């Protein structure tokens, strides 16, 4: 049985804080054709500009282009910055500029960037006035310049890119509503018009570590420059640079403002290697890997995440799942990462049965219904006797169950062969993707947004929690 795995700590490139906090990100859901767009009123500097953003990719398995930032007027004239997923499942960054069908710029990374638990910081620097070809366009990931490309075409001197034209500029799409959409999160987006700035303007390596961390950009933005931070949930495309270069959103809602950010990374489901034993079709993962369904099929689908015991040892943890749909054939549970399908395991099934090592140990009266909220409480204070408790609509069912997890960690998993849809909340989205009204309950450190009050002494599974209690 193939399991999606998401290892904690989930710090990606930004595991520590420099004092600059990014409080939220903007979620782009490919399933909703979510994107932003703006058409500049006047042409500006097409030769010299800088783009900086933090990215957390969700769809890392679907072949093709997943566009991050584009400008275009048709099939023959465009700039495109995208994540490209190959047949082998490798995720490349691909940058291309065409004018009259002629490719003036093309850089395709050889390195793959497919970790859906990590935040990546990307910087593109265009300065086609430079005499040396390789300096006319520079690309950085997590503070390091990328110089190894499978395709490497640099622009001619004084080449005009399609950026800063008076044509549509889109974030999260290539051609609105026709595929090639981004799926994931974006945070702290800076576009600097007329200036060529390196990554040191937006981040730094944490002292005595090799971890790239964000800093706040404090320079000028130029005429068409903008700063998108998603501070206003009702207008996620608002420009905070002072230029009022606001973007219009499509397919997005207030619940697409997410507290998952480069300085506070939360766990999600993982899309890497998505499949199951019982069907050739893949599971459905949407809404930034916080929503899981059977993808329209009747065969059993499995999704999960693996968590390192050593990170959680000695403390108590909590997260929630809400179910939507009309019929359920569902299992939510845990198993030892070293063992096979079901042993040893602790799980709750849609008929209400609670099982331990495949044997019934109790029942949650009434089984599963649409709108049910399941709270999962982990007590890892005793490494010899770890405990798991299930709550249904804030009522504990069958009490604590002991669980033997190996040094390799444990797997939290969900299975579905009905029409049930699972909405995960590790604390980053208390609306469960817009299906509930957030209640604003946080953990013992004031972290997270949970529907029900977090059990006393328990924490959200996030990098900030791990840092605060370690």
3-state SS class at 135: helix
Q: What pLDDT was estimated at residue 14?
A: 35
Distance, CA of 67 to CA of 82 (rounded, Å): 4
Q: What pLDDT was estimated at residue 191?
A: 98
Enter the DSSP assignment of 61.
S
State the virtual CA torsion across 254, 257, 259, 265 in degrees, nearest 10. Answer: 140
Q: What pTM, to 2 d.p., does this model score?
A: 0.90
- 173: domain CATH number is 2.60.120.200
* CB contact burial 360-381 (16+ within 10 A = b; e otherwise): eeeebeebbeeebbbbbbbbbe
Distance, CA of 41 to CA of 166 (rounded, Å): 6
Q: What pLDDT was estimated at residue 198?
A: 98
pLDDT along the chain (470 residues), means of 10: 34 48 95 94 98 91 87 92 81 94 96 86 98 98 96 98 97 81 95 98 87 95 98 97 97 96 88 43 75 63 61 88 88 74 73 82 79 92 86 89 73 79 93 95 94 95 80
Q: What pLDDT was estimated at residue 63?
A: 79
Domain termination site, one of 258, 293, 315: 258
Full residue range of the structural domain in which residue 187 is found: 25-258
Distances (CA, A) of 437 to 368, 425, 431: 20, 13, 5
The encoded tokens of residue 295 equal 């993808």
In this structure, the answer to whether residues 204 and 327 fall within a common structural domain is: no
In this structure, the answer to whether residues 247 and 306 fall within a common structural domain is: no
49 lies in some domain: yes
Please choose, from the candidates 69, 74, 98, the residue with its C-alpha nearest in 3D space to the C-alpha of residue 181.
69
268 lies in some domain: no
Q: What pLDDT was estimated at residue 306?
A: 62
In this structure, the answer to whether residues 289 and 236 fall within a common structural domain is: no
In this structure, the answer to whether residues 181 and 325 fall within a common structural domain is: no
397: preceding bond cis by omega (within 30 degrees)? no
- 324: domain CATH number is 2.60.120.920
3-state SS class at 255: helix
């Amino acid at each position: 049985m193939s399991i999606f795995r998401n290892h904690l700590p989930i710090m990606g490139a930004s595991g520590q804080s420099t004092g600059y906090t990014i409080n939220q990100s903007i979620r782009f859901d490919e399933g909703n054709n979510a994107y932003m767009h703006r058409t500049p009123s006047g042409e500006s500097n097409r030769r010299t500009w800088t783009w900086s953003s933090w990215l957390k990719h969700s769809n890392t398995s679907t072949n093709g282009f997943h566009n991050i930032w584009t400008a275009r007027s048709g099939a023959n004239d465009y700039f495109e910055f995208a994540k490209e997923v190959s047949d082998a499942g490798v995720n490349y960054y691909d940058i291309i500029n065409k004018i009259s069908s002629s490719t003036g710029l093309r850089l395709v990374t050889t390195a793959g960037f497919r970790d859906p638990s990590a935040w990546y910081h990307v910087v593109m620097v265009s300065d086609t006035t430079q005499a040396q070809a390789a300096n006319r366009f520079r690309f950085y990931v997590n503070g390091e310049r990328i110089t190894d490309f499978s395709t490497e075409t640099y622009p001619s001197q004084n080449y005009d890119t399609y950026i800063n034209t008076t044509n549509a500029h889109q974030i999260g799409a290539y051609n609105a509503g026709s595929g090639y959409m981004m799926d994931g999160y974006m945070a702290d987006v800076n576009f600097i018009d007329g200036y060529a700035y390196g990554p040191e303007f937006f981040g730094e390596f944490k002292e005595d570590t090799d971890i790239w961390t964000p800093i706040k950009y404090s320079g000028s933005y130029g005429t068409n420059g903008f700063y998108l931070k998603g501070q206003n949930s009702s207008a996620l495309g608002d420009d905070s640079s002072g230029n009022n270069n606001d973007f219009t959103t499509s397919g997005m809602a207030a619940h697409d403002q997410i507290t998952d950010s480069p300085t506070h990374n939360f766990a999600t489901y993982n899309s890497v290697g998505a499949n199951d034993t019982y069907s050739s079709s893949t599971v459905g993962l949407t809404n930034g890997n916080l929503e899981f369904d059977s993808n329209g099929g009747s065969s059993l689908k499995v999704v999960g995440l693996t968590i390192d015991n050593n990170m959680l040892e000695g403390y108590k943890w909590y997260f929630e799942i809400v179910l939507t749909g009309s019929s359920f054939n569902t299992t939510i549970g845990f198993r030892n990462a070293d063992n096979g399908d079901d042993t040893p395991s602790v799980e709750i099934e849609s008929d209400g049965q609670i099982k331990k090592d495949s044997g019934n140990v109790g029942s949650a009266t009434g089984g599963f219904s649409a709108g049910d909220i399941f709270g999962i409480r982990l007590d890892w204070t005793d490494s010899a006797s770890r405990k798991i408790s299930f709550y249904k609509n804030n009522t504990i069912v069958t009490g604590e169950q002991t669980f033997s997890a190996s040094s390799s960690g444990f797997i939290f998993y969900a299975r579905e062969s009905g029409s049930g849809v699972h909405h995960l909340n590790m604390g980053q989205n208390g609306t469960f993707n817009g299906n509930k009204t957030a209640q604003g309950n946080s953990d013992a450190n004031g972290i997270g947004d949970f529907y029900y009050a977090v059990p006393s002494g328990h924490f959200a599974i996030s990098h900030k929690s791990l840092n605060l209690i370690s």
